[in-house]
Copies of this chain bind each other. A is one copy, B any other.
C-alpha cells in the first residue's frame, strides 16, 4: 500500500476545512484515505469519548468516517478514470448526495477501525462507493456513498 500522500492532502486549501477530513481543521478527525490496489483504505482510532453505549463506537462517528472516506474515494476514482494525477487542475472535488449505513454489529471502542472502499461507479459527475468498516478484523458496518461533483456555487458560499 502506498501511503505517501492521502487523497485529502491533494484537496485545495480552501476545501480542506472539513471536520471529518480537512487538514486545516484542528478540531476534526483528519481522516486520511489511500489507494490499496483497486480499493481504497483509511484507518482511524476513535477517542474514548466517541462512545454510544459504553464500550462501543458512536454510530454518528461511523457514518462520518464512511462519508468522508466515500467522498475522498470518489475524487480519487474520478482522477483515475481520467488518467490524471490527483492534484492536477482542474480540481475534482465531490460532495455527498446520499449516505446509507447498515450497522451489522456493535463496533467495539478501542481498536483501530479500518475502512475499505470499492468503486461501484465513477463518472466525471458522480461516483458510488461501497465501504466496509471493520474493527479487530470483523466487519461491523457497511456503507454506500453516492457522491456528486461539487457545484461551483459551493466554493463561493453566501454564508460563513
Chain A residues engaging chain B, CB cutoff 8 angstroms: 14-15, 17-20, 22, 25-28, 47, 49-56, 58-61, 63-65, 67-68, 95-103, 106, 108-110, 150, 154-155, 157-160
A160→B51 contact, CB < 8 A: yes
Q: How many copies of this kind of chain does the complex include?
A: 2
Indicate whether A19 sits within 8 Å of B60 (C-beta atoms), given known contacts A49-B25, A54-B14, A150-B53. yes
Chain B residues with Cβ under 8 A from A101's Cβ?
A: 63, 96, 98-100
Give the residue name and chain of the B residue nearest to A58 (CB): B19
Give the residue name and chain of the B residue nearest to A159 (CB): B108
A64→B56 contact, CB < 8 A: no
Cα–Cα, bound, A64→B50 (Å): 12
